[in-house]
Amino acid sequence: MKSTIVKFLLKTAWILELVIALFILMVTVVQMVLTGKDSLNYLTLGQFSLNDFFISTMNIVVGLEFVKMLILHTPRAVTDVLLFAIARQLVVSHSSSMDALLGVAAVALIFLIKKLLLSREDSIPPADILQKFIGNRAEKEEASHHE
């Protein structure tokens, strides 16, 4: 009984993560289209701002990496999100020299973590990640075909 409840709760949490990831992905795609449209309009008007373009594109990249992290559940995906989020902050903010130095140090630390602490296995999502849904559906379909 207890393991059934735990399995149900884990599956529900995983489904909610996928729904959130899908929503973030849809919003990110809309942002991509709007960024492209706005950039073309500003270019034709001669009012293009590279800084605004970088802000939008780096937000898109962070959003995509965040979606990957929600789906893959790997340590490498988490470090990638952190890396892009810090890089985004370094590129788009006009902060003090100390903030820039701390950001560069954080990026260097993430690279060290990726190089020294993460293995190849940390890049591979768990084998059952897709089987949670595809496998269950395939088993049900296979069972119904044998009846």
Q: Which residues of 110-119 are buried (b: 16+ CB within 10 A; e: fewer)?
A: beeebeeeee
CA 139, CA 33: separation in Å to the nearest integer? 39
- Looking at the chain, the whole-number percentage of residues with pLDDT higher than 90 is 50
Calpha distance 139→131 (Å, rounded)? 10
Q: Would you state the pLDDT for residue 83?
A: 93
- Residue 72: the pLDDT is 87
Question: Per-residue b/e over 4-20, b at no fewer than 16 CB within 10 Å?
Answer: eeeeeeeeeebeeeeee
Distance in angstroms (rounded) separating the CA atoms of residues 73 and 52: 31
pLDDT value at 91 more than 90: no
For helices 75-92 and 50-72, give the axis angle rounded to 10 degrees: 170
pLDDT band at 136 (very low <50, low <70, confident <90, very high): low
Position 95 scores a pLDDT of 82
Question: What is the reported pLDDT for 129?
Answer: 60
CA 9 – CA 93 distance, rounded (Å): 40
Could you tell me which residues come within 8 angstroms of residue 85 by beta carbon, excluding any fewer than 6 positions away?
62, 65
DSSP 122: G
Tens digit of each residue's pLDDT (9 = 90 or more) over 37-64: 999 999 999 999 988 899 999 999 999 9
